[in-house]
Chains A and B, each alone.
Chain A
């Protein structure tokens, strides 16, 4: 069954092709249904392939790169063969790629379905689904690629689709700017990806994951660290880590399903995937740096989320913060915990974004939480599912977020106590800002005009909410601690890891840490209740301008790029015109002047020429005579 893997990306690609040729003719809602069907079919074949993979004997060892028997490569064709370079268009079926593909297609299909309702009435309805299918195809190439270059194809593909989707409503200048910013910022990361690829190829002579995993132990430490840090740069761009996170909050200019799918559930986890995929290369030095970047980003973005007013901005900073958690997990060597959090985060953050979209939709494109409130009565399904998402991200047991976050905190605890403390603080803040959001939107008093006529969304939108709420609630079941056999995800992913992480803490220690984490979450929620529900704490001091403006980081960078940066470019262009080209024209002028100067010599009078010859002859004779003397 694993042979059918090519169908997983082929279906959304086919959907894209059909929509490209016949999208406007299909129109609404058929274009949407077609795209959804392509995505659903892709999910179906992922299940089939997954079944096939499980059928392969996991016990067999000696597979490519020590991956055991659960490893299948489907080579479609040679892509760029030249010299010793072999780049195949090939797909890889292994536990990691299947884990990613399952939630990508699963959550992706739900978001396609949701979009059928959400994009209702948009004049570019079919184009939206065209992009969405292309995005899904790219994302699947990213996770299924058998080598760095195919992954890079997907990597750039999702970046391109992200650009197209963020600037979907391109007549809005902010949307257009945000799309461009996302692409260019991502390109900074892509630069790291490319150099890492070059470095691996020149040192190991291969770009395929099997070859890299096999060759990694032979890498010199310095080279391996360099590669790791370049990969971190790549991942930081795609997964919005400090300092490259700046594009993600702006990316909220795109339609909300895009924010859910591209900028929360799938694309932004690509960096996490990349680092886990190349885990054999990562060195201890690099891991520590990854952990620090992750922890710093987690705290930084959580602080920013505390003071946002835009419903989507809160979720955007929350996403940045949660991605920081995943990097912290990787840096602590807990790759399974990172992927575990990728999956649960896809469920609850996808849910929260879609819920926010439902609210925005119901309120007629209102995004400011200060003009919301008390919506649980008019939007019951949205409210209940959103609450599930809130509790899941806040880390309230037994919802999924608790389990994955707990594992990350445990790994951080064992790696470095300070990183754990940062992670715990972030957990508290997360519980607080998500509670604040939930209360501002669904509880308290009504702050919208009656003319807004908020209403519950149609079934195409609420059905995905319900399914995702279910997944967000029980998704933790894929990797439950304490009882060894319940660690399904961990056992499944183990063959992919060069150095599977094992927790060393005693059981009582683990329980204590879990208790502390829950306590932190409860404190966060309690403070939020006191402030935003019961008004026991004055709220005006809880949204300091420093946090609302995110430490003025983005605006400083933007001012630099728009100010001195642009000026420097302008200076180069001016220099090109004035000096480089000026020199050329100067030479031309010089030649002409010389020509003008000597023109009188060409008088046409024979006597002038004759006297010239005579004078020349005399000079020559004198010169010869003088030379003869000396």
Chain B
């Protein structure tokens, strides 16, 4: 378990990469006016392994901000489980979670997103979004948003969806001469674009985009 305290006004950027057979657990307490940004990447290729990630974050001081961005491309027989817990214990906090997974082969993904807003944590703004795309019939994704909102004057919303690649877009691109695997790559690059753009550093965004392209190059088992 990695434990951190973000002191008043402190800004921290944490990059977590899922590594085979690892359980990564982070507990972070945020004091007032602190800003935490987490980027979580699951970008191992065809790893026949398991990875569990827990991100347990508590806003203990007012006007703290928490941003969690997760991007995963799961292949082979990977099992990846991501659990986030964001606790707003005081008023005037802000959090945004955006996690996207593309699952291929026989990989299995799971996302559990807990969002807890304490009774007196008024004026909390919290957002949680999880979008997933399954690229093969054997791929699975379990998504479980769990919201416990005890305050009444808050703005909280969540959305979760799991679907397939848009076949009509795929055919449209093929009709223009684009090979299906290239079309699929373009569609997946578009799917992940909003997360990539949160990195805010063109050189790193470019590298990540190339990594995504490499991981989605192969025609997935259909």
Do A and B interact with each other, yes or no?
Answer: no
